[in-house]
A and B are shown apart, each in its own frame.
Chain A
Amino acid sequence: MTLKRRTVIKGLAAAAWLPLLPGPAGAQAAPILTRPIPSSGEPLPLVGLGTWITFNVGNDSELQDECAAVMSAFFDGGGRMIDSSPMYGSSQPTIGYGLRMLNYPDSLFSAEKVWVSNPAHGDGQIDRSLAYWGLPKFDLLQVHNLLSWEEHLPRLFEMKEAGALRYVGITTSEGRRHRDIERVMAEHPVDFVQITYNILDRDVEERILPLAQERGIAVIVNRPFRQGSLIRQIEDEALPDWLPETGATNWAQFLLKFIVSHPAVTCVIPATTSVEHVRENLDAARGALPDEALRRRMIDYVEAL
């Protein structure tokens, strides 16, 4: 039964990919671009996979299979980082389901969060998250939205020291508490910071991204499409004539290439329920990336729409 299910999931992922192949032979895709995690030098693909809303499917086995197919296509396309949180409803068990179906790909880079106001409950929550994923330890644990960060961070550093964790991080979203994030980045040896950054929300360019470069902190970017609203806002607009210069072929890649072309960005984590979209997203991490002049042109174009 399990084998059959795995076959179906692989088949779902493959079937969604077939229309995108350029010809019968299927040309070899360009290698996925990576950027090193500053604290270790470990290369990480520029595009990861977020799970907010999209993987919160409860016990619906049909939707769990769809998510597993997305994960299958993600790993097949060279993706590594999957990011989740205890706050995301059933996303954690859905990831665990997909990982079991895919026999736990070696390339997985697991990014989780601790999200509980009472620090005494942090260890228990991390244990539950590990059980949901079916992993002995996470690659990265982040303090979600700075919740009780003064208490959680020391514990995460202890876990890293003990080898129960590889990297420590902290997150925020939608521009909230940037002063606190800056303080953490300046005063604590975090490996990762997760923030919101997209072509219209560029506050982090002023202080946080330069500080990350200065302090050698990897940057994960969430909400690249403003939870889908940015795509819906511009998808009916004409793409620029100079689109090929960006290396993108559609709006989603246009927006993602803008983000990952910032040298401080290590990885962007768009979320999707579509195998076709996860492949498109990964393709944003292949080929050319815009230079500074082109990035300015991209901003001007989108702001003028």
Chain B
Amino acid sequence: MSEWWTYTLSDFLMFSPRVYLRLIERYNEKIWPLQIVFTVCTLAVLPFAMKRSRFGAVAGFLLLAAAWILSGWQFLWERYATINWAVSYFAAAFMVQAALLVLFALREAGTDASPPTSRMASYGGAAIALSGLLVFPSLTLIHGRPIATAESFGAMPDPTAITTFGLLLVSWRRSFWLLLPIPILWCLFSTLTLWSLEEPGATLPLAAAIITAALLLLRSGERRAAL
């Protein structure tokens, strides 16, 4: 890209906020009530994941895989990519993330016991997961928008990525870092897009990624101090 320094974020914005919100609204209507199913199931699995049970880990990963498939295929590929061609690459990345999650679910199913994680990572992860499951969808009401434009886990990429951070932290193992790059890249892309749309809550996806990274660093520090 020549003269790249002359470009601003808004130069890459190729659709209007109105079109984007109508896209979400029509999509939510089409897949209803999957939003509730995903949210309730994940809320039910969260305590098991915090107890680090095998069921919690396997069910959590499988729910996450289903969420990445639905949001990547039905929202990104089928809908969002029609107004933003760059998103089609992310749709493929979402399928890769789903495949990785299924592989990790299979591995967890064959593992006996999970090593204990730090309380800070566990509670911090639960807070991040709950913010993806409950807070993020509520933003639409806080900002006085119709509930039909709410972004929920499983249906939409942002809360799916945020909830993924939370569940990974809750049941963290060292190898889980493989599951972080795609959600982090998405959160960066999403924050930049929402920022240029002047959307309220634009910084939340990136903030969730940064907090996750910070909690992992703190957890790592705790473990080194304990040795």
Chain A residues engaging chain B, CB cutoff 8 angstroms = 52-54, 56-60, 62-63, 87-90, 146, 174-177, 227, 273
Contacts and interface: CB of A to CB of B under 8 A. Distances in A.
A52 B2 CA distance: 20
Given A63-B22, A88-B14, A89-B15, A56 B6 contact: no
A177 B84 contact: no
B13 A53 contact: yes
A63 B19 contact: yes
Nearest to B14: A89
Contacts of B79: 58-59
User: Helix, strand, loop or mixed for chain B's interface?
Assistant: loop
B197 to A, nearest CB: 11
A88 B19 CA distance: 14
22 contacts: A53-B14, A53-B15, A53-B16, A57-B15, A57-B19, A57-B83, A58-B19, A58-B79, A58-B82, A59-B82, A60-B26, A63-B19, A87-B14, A87-B85, A88-B14, A89-B14, A89-B15, A89-B82, A176-B3, A177-B2, A177-B3, A273-B16
B82 A90 contact: yes
Nearest to B86: A89
Contacts, number: 51
Contacts of B11: 174
B23 interface: yes
B10 A60 contact: no
A62 B3 CA distance: 38
Contact of A56 (B3, B10, B19): B19
A60 B3 contact: no
Contact of A89 (B2, B3, B84): B84
Interface residues of B, number: 18
A273 B14 CA distance: 14
Interface string B156-178: 00000000000000000000000
Interface string B74-93: 00000100111100000000
A229 to B, nearest CB: 9
A58 B10 contact: no
Interface in B11-52: 11, 13-16, 19, 22-23, 26
Contacts of A176: 2-3, 6
Nearest to A60: B22
B82 A227 contact: no
Contacts of A58: 15, 19, 23, 79, 82-83
The 8 closest A-B CB pairs, nearest first, are A58-B82, A58-B83, A89-B83, A56-B15, A176-B3, A90-B82, A56-B83, A89-B14
A118 B184 CA distance: 30
B28 to A, nearest CB: 14
Given A58-B15, A88-B14, 13 more contacts: A53-B15, A56-B14, A56-B19, A58-B83, A62-B22, A87-B14, A89-B15, A89-B82, A89-B83, A146-B2, A174-B11, A177-B3, A273-B16
Contacts of A54: 16
